[in-house]
Structure 1
């Protein structure tokens, strides 16, 4: 279905006159008539009764009007979903029960008008590719590569240090340690 024809139909229904709809849409009255005729042909019904005072929707036209408005709203939502600055932020969080997900929840509570699309990519390479392609806006994950080895175009920023627990058996040398550094783990 031609959305320009649907938009024209709604404009005529709202204005009550083909001439006014043409002015509102910045097209000729002939273009309005052609679009309406094309839509009527596609639907197999007459949408307007033409009178000396203008045009008013037929019963079929009245039945179609809320659906036509819904089509135009769906078109706007679809376009807005990919418009930079207008679409939801697409954020990769490796696990929805980990600290980065909590950071996003806290951010959303502080700014409830901000929309998020949260995705979970389990592979860092997939996350890097998604950021580079624009599929996602950001990824929260542990990055173990040195900055110089990251793919070109990828930058990182430390946003959260998450405590990590060392789990050992009861007889291990670190079983009673209160803390252990990575250097102390070397060789174990």
Structure 2
């Protein structure tokens, strides 16, 4: 019996998602194509792998038994391709992020990683980057991981960045040397997109009672900050050490009691055998230790999901 790896991969993704639509999305194929692949696999095996009903899908007993060796089959196929292509191709790393934190982090890490060959790319947001990782289009990416993490992905926390409030110079709170987050109640949180797609800002607003928010089109950091400077009611959040563009009428004020921290992780697909991944994760660990990137004090800092 010869198994088709594409069919096996479709089964694995559907088993992990328990939703044919989401599984198809991670593979960049239609739901109909994914269903056909799984149906052909079930026909070849002579047994049903999923129970399909009005409440979704779930694995049959045969599907549960098949899942572990199916994952091993997909991993072996990917390892075989990597061996044939060779190990000298660059490590493909996505540095998506309108705040440039992944790029800044990678620049500091690359100095410690020596001659690690890298190929950089830019996604649109973390969901698109996640799909690219699962499809094998990229090898690693930076992002803020919040539960639940998609099956098939692994991550390591590499950096906790203190966050400042950025306000118009005409904002009533702009003159202070520091601010508590709850002092921003009554101000308008300006976001680079819909708040329900920006989990950190959404949780910050909930935690500190920020009731008013507004969003604009993300046309780059300078344009984003010009919109903040234009309205004395607005504020936004930026990493404390980010180089700010020269925007008149703007002020950056540290947040304290507590200081919000933005957690950046390095993500990769489990089973990815590229040797550069070990070098990159090791360089991240060294940089984090030397630069004290992972310092967290619960009595003075705030994280939406405190690290274990």
Q: TM-score range by the shorter chain?
A: 0.3 to 0.5
Larger proportion of strand: 2
Structure with the higher fraction of residues in helix conformation = 1
Q: Normalising by the residue count of structure 2, what TM-score does the alignment of the two structures yield?
A: 0.29
Under a length normalisation based on structure 1, what TM-score does the superposition of the two structures give? 0.45
Higher relative contact order (CA 8 A, sep 6+): 2
